[in-house]
Amino acid sequence: MALTIRKFYADSNPGGKNQHSHSKSLPKLAPEIQFMLLCSCIDPDEKRCAQIRQGFCPSLDWETFFSFSLHQRMLPIVYLSIKKAIPDLIPKDTLSKFKSAYVSNTRRNLSLTAFLLSILSILSTHKIKVLPFKGPVLAQDIYGDPGLRIFSDLDILVHLKDAVKAWNLFTDKGLIPELSLDDKKKDKYIQTEDHMIFSHKNNGIIVELHWEMSGRYISPFLGLEKIAGHLHPLPILNREVLNLSPEILLLYLCIHGAKENWWYLEQIFSLSRLISRKKDLDWQIVKNLSRRWRCRKMLDLGLLLAKQIFSTPVPEPLVHKRRNDRDIQRNLETILDRFFGETSAAPETPAPGRFSPLHLAVRDSFMEKLSYAARLIFQPTSKEWIHFPLPARLSFLHYGLRPIRLLKEGFIQKNA
C-alpha cells in the first residue's frame, strides 16, 4: 500500500515549542509522521510519556501511522512507546495490530538469534574467528533487546583466509549457497566479491557469509583483520559474542547507510541511539578512521541526518563544515524529502541500488569517485558467475564481461 505523505514547507515552525523527537529545522510534518517521530524512543521516561500524551490526536489516520512505522522498520520501538504512554487512548484495533506485528517480529528475531548462535558454535569448534554484525547483535548492543529491530537475515564476518573453509562448513550443515562452485572457483570468487548468500534447506533462514564488511563500498578492504583491535564481548541470550567497538560501529552504520541510500528511518534512529547511549565515544578515533578509510562524507551525512531528524547530540565541529558542502546538502535534502515530503517513495519501492548518484556524491575526493566508478563497472560480482560460469583459470575474463552485461541489460538495478 502506497503512502501519501503531506509536506508543509510554508508553515515551517523552526522555533516551535512542540518539536520533540525531530529536529527544529524540519518542516511541519504530516501529523501521523510527527507523532511517529515523537513515539520513536526506547523506554520513554515520564516526561516523554507526557509529551506523547500531549501530542496524541484521535483524528490521526491510524492506518498511515501503522504503515509508516512498519515500512520504516520502527514498529517495535513505536509500539512499546504507545503501549507505555497511551494504551488507554489509542484505538484498540490499532493497538492490537501493533501488538500482533511486534510479537511476530520478536518470535522470529529470537529464532534467528538462536540459529546465529548455533552457527557461531560450529565455526568456533573449527577454530574460525567470526564476528556477527547487524541483525540481532546490533539490536542487543544499542537497544538492549534483539526483538527491537526488524531484520530478515543474519550477517557474519570471517577472515578472508577462512572464507572458503567457512563456506564449506555451511554447505556441510545444510546451508545452500546462491552459487555452487568448486574450491578453485571459490578462491577466485572471494578475490572480487565480499560475501555469499546461503539459505538453510529446512527452515529457509538466510545467512550472509562476509569476508569484507562494507560490501566493497569503500576503497580500503574492510576485513576482520582491519578491525581486530576494536572488538569486545557482547552478552546475548546467555552467550557472549564478539562485537564492534562503538567507534567502529558508528562508522560502519554511516557506511552501510550510504550504501543503502539511507532507505529506512530505523537506520538513522539506530545511529542516533548509538551516539546517545555510548557516552564515552572517542570522537577523535572516529575522525581519524574516517580519514584513513576515506569515508568522511559518509560519516558527515549520517551525523547530519541523525541531528536533523532526531536532534542527536553530535559534536558541532564534525558537521559544521559540511553544511556548506553542496553534495552533502543536496543528498540530505533528497533523503529528507523522500521520508517526509510529498514526493515520498512508496513503501514497496526498492532502494536505488548500486547506480544511485548518492554513491558518487559521498566520496571524499575526485579520485575516490573514479575508483568507485571503476569498481562498479568492472569488478565482477556473483552475477558474472551466474551469467558466465567460466572455469577458475578463465575467471579473469569476468572483468571484461561485466561491463558488456551491464550495457546489454541497461544497468538495471536488480542485475547490477
Q: Is residue 400 part of a domain?
A: no
Of the three residues 351, 378, 404, the one that is the final residue of a domain is 351
Which residues fall within 8 angstroms of residue 97, CB to CB, at 6 or more apart?
66
Q: Is residue 405 part of a domain?
A: no
Structure confidence by residue, pLDDT tens digits, 127-140: 999 999 999 999 99
Find cell 568448486 and name the residue: 182
Q: Is residue 217 part of a domain?
A: yes
Q: How far is CA 414 from the centre of its chain?
A: 18
How many CA atoms within 13 Å lie on the side-chain side of 355? 10
Q: Is residue 11 part of a domain?
A: no
Find cell 515520498 and name the residue: 344
Q: Do 239 and 126 sit in the same domain of this protein?
A: yes
Q: What is the greatest pairwise CA distance in the chain?
A: 68
Phi (first) and psi of residue 337, to 5 degrees: -65, -35
Structure confidence by residue, pLDDT tens digits, 184-206: 999 999 999 999 999 999 999 99
How many whole angstroms separate alpha carbon 61 and alpha carbon 274? 31
Q: Is residue 358 part of a domain?
A: no
Could you list the beta-strand ranges (E) of 170-311: 175-177, 195-200, 206-210, 231-236, 239-244
Q: Do 123 and 230 sit in the same domain of this protein?
A: yes
Q: Do 198 and 264 sit in the same domain of this protein?
A: no
Q: Is residue 279 part of a domain?
A: yes
Percent of the chain, pLDDT > 90? 79
Q: Is residue 188 part of a domain?
A: yes
The boundaries of the domain holding residue 69 are 16-90
Of the three residues 194, 222, 244, the one that is the final residue of a domain is 244
Q: Do 195 and 296 sit in the same domain of this protein?
A: no
The whole-chain average pLDDT of the chain stands at 89
Residue 356 has a pLDDT of 85
User: Per-residue pLDDT for 16 more than 80?
Assistant: no
DSSP H or E stretch at residue 272: helix 265-277
b vs e for 293-302, b when ≥16 Cβ sit within 10 Å of the residue's Cβ? bbbbbbbbbb
Which residues fall within 8 angstroms of residue 409, CB to CB, at 6 or more apart?
415
Q: Do 236 and 119 sit in the same domain of this protein?
A: yes
How many CA atoms within 13 Å lie on the side-chain side of 206? 9
Count of domains in the chain?
Answer: 3
Residue 344 has a pLDDT of 52
pTM: 0.90
Q: Do 249 and 331 sit in the same domain of this protein?
A: yes
Q: Is residue 153 part of a domain?
A: yes
CATH of residue 214: 3.30.460.40
The answer to whether the beta carbons of residues 284 and 317 sit under 8 Å apart is no
Q: Do 153 and 232 sit in the same domain of this protein?
A: yes
Q: Do 228 and 297 sit in the same domain of this protein?
A: no
User: Per-residue pLDDT for 263 more than 70?
Assistant: yes
Residue 414 has a pLDDT of 52
The answer to whether the beta carbons of residues 36 and 65 sit under 8 Å apart is yes
Structure confidence by residue, pLDDT tens digits, 65-102: 999 999 999 999 999 999 999 999 999 999 999 999 99
Instruction: Report the candidate in 238, 237, 307, 218 with the shortest Cα–Cα distance to residue 268.
Output: 307
Instruction: Report the candidate in 255, 115, 103, 96 with the shortest Cα–Cα distance to residue 198.
Output: 115
Q: Do 118 and 236 sit in the same domain of this protein?
A: yes
Q: Do 291 and 343 sit in the same domain of this protein?
A: yes
Which residues fall within 8 angstroms of residue 99, CB to CB, at 6 or more apart?
79, 83
pLDDT band at residue 176 under the 50/70/90 scheme? very high
Q: Do 193 and 127 sit in the same domain of this protein?
A: yes
Phi (first) and psi of residue 235, to 5 degrees: -75, 135
Of the three residues 194, 226, 244, the one that is the final residue of a domain is 244
Structure confidence by residue, pLDDT tens digits, 292-305: 999 999 999 999 99
Q: Do 227 and 272 sit in the same domain of this protein?
A: no
Work out the number of other CB atoms within 10 angstroms of the CB of residue 120: 19
Distance set, CA 110 to CA 76, 123, 139 (Å): 14, 20, 11
